[in-house]
Structure 1
Amino acid sequence: MYNAEAEKEEKGAGCYQHTQMQKDLIIEKLKERGLRITRQRMLLLDIILEGECSCCKEIYYQASALDPKIGVATVYRMINTLEAIGAISRKNMYRVACSTKGACTVELDDDTICHLSGQKLNEVILAGLKACGEVSGQNIRSLALLPVNEPA
């Protein structure tokens, strides 16, 4: 049987306490909306709070591996509910993977995939920075990518 709390304790006490606090607040908001806190909802919440999934399909694959009775509709409903209460935002969900040769693949939350050369990635980022007023005449020297759910 899946035991998320035991798994998180193994990963580190500090991480567990922070996640538990988030989890408690989210559970309270779900209860305020009149939702029951089911085993499947708890499982999905644990997977989402781990922050290792970038899309609903990944959440579904992890959840169905732990509980084959979970349907994809359950995952989407939970994601929509969490978004409605402000616990998560799918607006900026994306994953960027770059190779050592400068090729880059960007996967958007709607499963759209864009393949960019190193030069094209540089152009896209520079154009975005200019549009946001972050640069005026400078060029990009280096680029560091952080995991999707990690704050910059």
Structure 2
Amino acid sequence: MAMAVMEQKRKIQESQNYQRTKMQKDMVIQRLKDDGCRITKQRLMLLDIILEEDCSCCKEIYYKAAKQDGKIGTATVYRMVNKLEEIGAISRKNMYKIACGSGCEVENACTIEFDDDTVVELSAKKWHQVIKAGLVACGYPSDLNVRSVIAKSCQCGK
């Protein structure tokens, strides 16, 4: 029974991740179009690779892209990363994760699991409100706006 519940939770999480990634991809494509960029197959492929959020540098993006399309060059990857940074879609400080600001309307941007197995999904907007309120409660100035948050995995085994 517990395995069935865990499998159901995993399927729901995968569905939510897919929807969030699709929404992010659509937003970035629109920003590129608004900036006058053509949306090519190579650009779409690079965007998909970046949305997987496991590349820490252009070289890793290039290696993944070259496996899919042997014609792609490193210059194409660097130009795409620079363009995405220029339009505010990514930040190199965040290891090429798609940036999402406090005005973002993405639902289920953050999943919080409590020790009683309760799960809460927060929209990007609500997530930024929680972070800001927490920072103010810890004595940080209230007039600062959160640009990004990088959460690292816990290595303590809990």
TM-score (norm 2): 0.52
Count of aligned pairs? 91
Q: 1:146 aligns with which of 145, 148, 153?
A: 153
**1:22 corresponds to which of 12, 15, 24:** 24
The alignment-based identity, stated in percent, is: 64
Deviation beyond 2 Å, 4+ runs, structure 1: 91-94, 144-147
Amino acid at match of 2:29: I
- Distance, in Å, in 2 between the alignment partners of 1:92 and 1:45 is 15
Partner of 1:50 in structure 2?
Answer: 52
Deviation at 1:89, TM superposition (A): 0.5
Partners of 1:82 and 1:46 in 2: CA distance: 13
Partner of 1:32: 34
Q: Secondary structure at the match of 1:146?
A: coil
SS in 1 for 2:70: coil
Q: Which runs of 5+ in 2 are unaligned?
A: 1-10, 97-138, 141-150
> Which residue in the other structure is 2:82 paired with?
80
Look up the SS of the partner of 1:12 in the other structure: helix
Gaps of 5+ in 1: 1-8, 95-132, 135-143, 148-152
- Name 1:13's counterpart in structure 2: 15
Deviation at 1:92, TM superposition (A): 4.8
Asked which structure has the greater RCO (Cα within 8 Å, sep 6+), the reply is: 2
Deviation, structure 1 residue 93? 3.6
CA RMSD between the two structures: 2.6
Normalization by structure 1: what TM-score? 0.54
Provide the C-alpha distance between the structure 2 equivalents of 1:58 and 1:35, rounded to a whole number of angstroms.
23
Q: Distance in 2 between matches of 1:20 and 1:59?
A: 19
The correspondence of residues 109-124 of structure 1 with structure 2, limited to 5 A, is none
Distance 2:33 2:81 in 1: 16
Per-residue deviation at 1:91?
2.8
Alignment of 1:103-114 (within 5 A): none
Per the alignment, residue 64 of structure 2 pairs with: 62
